[in-house]
Structures are given as structure tokens and as C-alpha cells.
């Protein structure tokens, strides 16, 4: 009996692990989220993105990946704004990076940073096969020193059409101080995970994972700060784990 | 005792009516939706839009209005795509129309249609006060005959077309709009997640009109998903907007 229970628990646990790559959506039901994915996302997902998503699903840190609905949205957004020169902070296996690379024109450029090159190299073969790897300039290491260097040269001010930040939440506001100079006027910064699994409204006694609770304060602080920043217009979209789009005003 | 209960019920009913203009969101909780509204939407909502939203809240059909989060999104989207020439099918009191007019440049143009001019005129003073009414060309009446006429001559002349009207006609509109929107331009179909009812089990209690239009919404979503002339994106903003970018 005890053995059966353990097997059942293991099966359930594995079923949980192989679900839609760890994403609980922000929507009213899993059914509604699945509906969006199955009706409008998966049938339109480019082959390389499907392949990269499946590779990532097997990775132990797959909770970190960009979801398919978010990838589709980013891809469309970049085409709508005719983005050509972009930056990405936080790459992981490269799902949003690939979504971006597929959206940019052939001479488009993405400057991408992550502290972990290994994960990037997991997805790189798929990006190469898709014929868009030449658009990517990947740099391993923390982003802050690189941003500080970029900001020092006035030529880099306003040089990016779009900057996507999907990284360490306790540094978003620090990144923002630099990115607001680097993105062009009328350009877009996207901050990912700003609804933090819905935990932004969890009651004080709610059971939260340690890392969720830890970073939640930074997310709440970020959201407050962006809301009153007069240099940008904002829009919080409940796509993925929440993306806040910030359009630079001047 | 009976009187007290009735008063209480009346108070609760009124509290319900004066909630965020009838919108139950598509999100996991009302609290999360309120968080978005209070953190990022209301503090940034332009005065005219706030005023129009409050006027609309008192109207008996206020369920039809565009929500504040959706208005903010449309406004940003239009600026991002540098829209100049747009169309709107379904105006009601004009909340999304105002959001659009505020986003367009001074020489921008919006061709707006609704079967009901009275509701439009409820919001028009606010739009005029905001100094953007000159961008709007309003036409009362059903959209179909107007579209049929436009299609004879105006292909690819619109940057953005927003459809927030009779769901049983969306696919019929689509046949015309796909010619009228420019290549690379955007059509936005509103209410495509239909209050989440797209996934309601067969025995779920649904309002008559929700159940009736649901079939059309499901059909629309299927059709847009396989339309090779567009790229699509279903966004869970408001009651669900499907953005369709024309490919060629």
C-alpha cells in the first residue's frame, strides 16, 4: 500500500513537472490559458520556437523560461514597432531571444546578456538552425557593469529600439536608471514578471515559496516606481507572468 | 425584518452596480485586476478618460464599455505603431474612441461607426473638451453597407481598425477589413475571450446573450487562427483582444 502511494505521488509529481513548462498563468483558470495556447499560440508557433520550448521543458530550471504566449506577443510587438536594434538582459535558453531574432529584419541586432552561457548554448543550435544567430551578440556576465560602460558614451544614448529585461528582480530599478538613457525616445523597455505569479496581492499570511516572497518586495517597489516615472508611459499586461511596457517620452 | 433585508439587498445591489463598470476580469482574482488598475492604470488615466468613464458608469448599458486597462493599452499601441488613419466599429459612449483620439497626431483621422448616435453624444462633450473631436468622423448606422462601399475603392488605407460590436458579424466584417487595413497594419477584435465563457462546461449557467454569442466567438477564434493573411495574438486584456497583423 505504502509503495503504491509513493508510486502515485511520483507519477503525479512527474505529471506536474512535465506540464506547460512550469507556468501557472495569471488567468481565471488553467482551462482559459490552455484555450489561448491551443487556439492561437501553438498552431502559429514557428518550428524553431517549438523545438526550443521542448528542449527547455526538460531543463531543471524551466520555470525561468518565457512562456509561448509571451513569445508570440513579443514577436508581434517587435514587428509592429519595426525594431532593429534591441537588447535583452536575461537569456536562459533563449526562447524570448529567438522570438526576437525571428522578428527583426536580416540586419537587425540583439545585444544579449546572461550570467550563464551554458544555458544559452543549450538553445543556440536551434537559433543557428533557424538562420538568425548572426543577429545576436551574446555577452556572459552580470549586466550592470556593461550598462554602466554603455551609458558613459553619449553615442549609445537612445540607441536601442527595444530592451527586454527578464533577470534579477532585485536589480530592475537599478537597470532602469541606465536603460532609460539607452532606449530611444519613443522606444520601449519591457520588464518581465511584474505580476510575480499573482503574489503582488497575496495576503500577508499566504504560503509563498521563499524566493517568491523575497523578490516580491522588489517587484512591488518596481511597480510603484514605474507608475510615477514621468519619463515613461506604462502599460502592465497580464501576458505570461506580467510584462510592464515602458515607452520613453523624452 | 423583511424591510431591513430588502434595504440590505438594495444596498448590495447598488454596490454591485457601482463597481468597476461591470467588468469581471479574465484574471485569477479581482484583487489582481484591482492591483493593475490602481497601480498602473488609474494614476496614469488622462482626465478626459476618467471623466468619460465616470459618465459611462451611470449608464444602464455600461457593461458594453471598454475597460480602463484596455483603453490604456490601445492608447499605447497606437502610439507605438504611429497610427494616423484608423477605424472603429462600435463606439457606445466613446471610451476607446477617446483613447484612440488622444493617441493620434493632430492630423490623425478616425472613422467611427455605431448604430446608436445617442450614446456617442453622451461622451462627445468630453471628447470635445479634450480638444480631439476634430479627428473623429462619426457615422450612425450598421457598418456592413458602409464597409461594402469602402471596399470598392479604399484598399490598404487604414493603419488600425478596432472592432467592438456585434459578435455574430465579426467574421463578415473580417472579409472586408482584411482589404481595408494596410499591409503590416492591425485589426483588433474585442471580446474574443468572452468573459472566459469560451471554456465554460456545457452545463455552466450562462446568461442568454453570453451563450448565444459564444458560438460566434468560438468560430471567430478558430477562423482567425488559420487565416494565412494575418499573424495573430490573443491578449487577455479587458475581455480579450485578438490583434491581427496583415501580412500581405
**Nearest CB neighbour to A227, from listed B40, B222, B233:** B40
CA terminus-to-terminus distance, chain A:
68
CB contact under 8 A, B44 and A234: yes
Predicted local confidence at residue B154, as pLDDT = 95
Q: Sign of the C-alpha dihedral, residues A154, A158, A164, A169?
A: positive
Q: Smallest Cα–Cα separation from A90: which of A145, A159, A168?
A: A168
The CA distance from A11 to A200, in Å, is 32
Report chain B residues whose CB lies below 8 A from the CB of A224.
Answer: 39
Quick one: what percent of chain B has pLDDT higher than 70?
91
Q: Is A247 near chain B, with CB under 8 Å?
A: yes
Phi/psi zone of residue B246: left (φ > 0), alpha (ψ -120 to 50 degrees), beta?
beta
pLDDT in tens, B153-185: 999 999 999 999 999 999 999 999 999 999 999
Chain A nearest-CA distance from B9, in A, is 27
Phi and psi torsions of B29, nearest 5°: -155, 155
Q: How far apart are CA A244 and CA A200, in angstroms?
A: 14
> Which residues of chain B lie closer than 8 angstroms to A39, CB-CB?
221-222, 225, 234
CA distance B75 to B95: 11
- Find the DSSP H helices in chain A: 2-17, 30-36, 47-57, 68-80, 95-103, 117-129, 143-152, 172-182, 210-227
Say whether B224 and A28 touch across the interface (CB within 8 A).
no
* Predicted confidence (pLDDT) at residue B83 exceeds the cutoff of 90: yes
Instruction: Band the pLDDT of B3: cuts 50, 70, 90.
Output: very low
Q: Do A39 and B222 touch (CB under 8 A)?
A: yes
CATH superfamily to which A27-248 belongs: Vaccinia Virus protein VP39 (3.40.50.150)
Strand, helix or coil for residue A40: helix
Q: Closest partner residue to A35 among B27, B80, B199, by Cβ? A: B199
Checking B167-172 for CB contacts under 8 A at 24+ apart, the result is B167/B191, B167/B194, B167/B213, B167/B216, B167/B217, B167/B220, B168/B213, B168/B216, B169/B143, B169/B144, B170/B216, B170/B217, B170/B220, B171/B216, B171/B219, B171/B220, B171/B223, B172/B144
- B43, A72: Cβ pair inside 8 Å? no
For residue A235, the chain B residue with the least C-alpha distance is B73
Judge contact between B37 and A200, C-beta under 8 A.
Answer: no
Q: Is the CB of A28 inside 8 Å of chain B's CB atoms?
A: yes
Domain range list for chain B = 27-197+204-246
* A36–chain B Cβ distance below 8 A for any pair: yes
Which pTM was predicted? 0.91
A249 touches chain B (CB under 8 A): no
Verify whether the Cβ–Cβ distance B224 to A40 is below 8 Å. Answer: yes
Locate cell 517597489: which residue?
A221
Task: Calculate the average pLDDT of chain B.
Answer: 91
Nearest 5 degrees, angle CA B123-CA B129-CA B132?
85
Q: Which of A116, A175, A119 lies closest to A145, judged by CA?
A: A175
Nearest beta carbon to residue A73 from set B25, B222, B233: B233
- The confidence band for A171, taking pLDDT boundaries of 50, 70 and 90, is very high
pLDDT in tens, A7-19: 444 444 443 333 3
What gap in Å lies between CA B68 and CA B81, rounded to an integer? 20
A44 and chain B in contact, CB less than 8 A: yes
The one-character DSSP state at B27 is B
The position carrying cell 455552466 is B204
Considering chain A, what is the average pLDDT of its residues? 91
Q: What is the CATH number of domain B27-197+204-246?
A: 3.40.50.150
CB contact under 8 A, B245 and A32: no
Q: What is the pLDDT of residues A34-79, one digit of tens each?
A: 999 999 999 999 999 999 999 999 999 888 899 999 999 999 999 9
Amino acid at each position: 500500500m505504502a509503495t503504491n502511494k509513493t508510486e502515485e505521488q511520483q507519477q503525479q509529481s512527474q505529471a506536474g513537472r512535465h506540464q506547460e513548462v512550469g507556468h501557472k498563468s495569471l488567468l481565471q483558470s488553467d482551462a482559459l490559458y490552455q484555450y489561448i495556447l491551443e487556439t492561437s499560440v501553438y498552431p502559429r508557433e514557428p518550428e524553431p520556437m517549438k523545438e526550443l520550448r521542448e528542449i527547455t521543458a526538460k531543463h531543471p530550471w524551466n520555470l525561468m523560461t518565457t512562456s509561448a504566449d509571451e513569445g508570440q506577443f513579443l514577436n508581434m510587438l517587435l514587428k509592429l514597432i519595426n525594431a532593429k536594434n534591441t537588447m535583452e538582459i536575461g537569456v536562459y535558453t533563449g526562447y524570448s531571444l529567438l522570438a526576437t531574432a525571428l522578428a527583426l529584419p536580416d540586419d537587425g541586432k540583439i545585444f544579449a546578456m546572461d550570467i550563464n552561457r551554458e544555458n544559452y548554448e543549450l538553445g543556440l543550435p536551434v537559433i543557428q538552425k533557424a538562420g538568425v544567430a548572426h543577429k545576436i551578440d551574446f555577452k556572459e556576465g552580470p549586466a550592470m557593469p556593461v550598462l554602466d560602460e554603455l551609458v558613459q558614451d553619449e553615442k549609445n544614448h537612445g540607441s536601442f529600439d527595444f530592451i527586454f529585461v527578464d533577470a534579477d528582480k532585485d536589480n530592475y530599478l537599478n537597470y532602469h536608471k541606465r536603460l532609460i538613457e539607452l532606449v530611444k525616445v519613443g522606444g520601449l523597455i519591457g520588464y518581465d514578471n511584474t505580476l510575480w505569479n499573482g503574489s503582488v496581492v497575496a495576503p500577508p499570511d499566504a504560503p509563498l515559496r521563499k524566493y517568491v516572497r523575497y523578490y516580491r518586495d522588489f517587484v512591488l517597489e518596481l511597480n510603484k516606481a514605474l507608475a510615477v516615472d514621468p519619463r515613461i508611459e506604462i502599460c502592465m499586461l497580464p501576458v505570461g507572468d506580467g510584462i510592464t511596457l515602458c515607452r520613453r517620452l523624452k
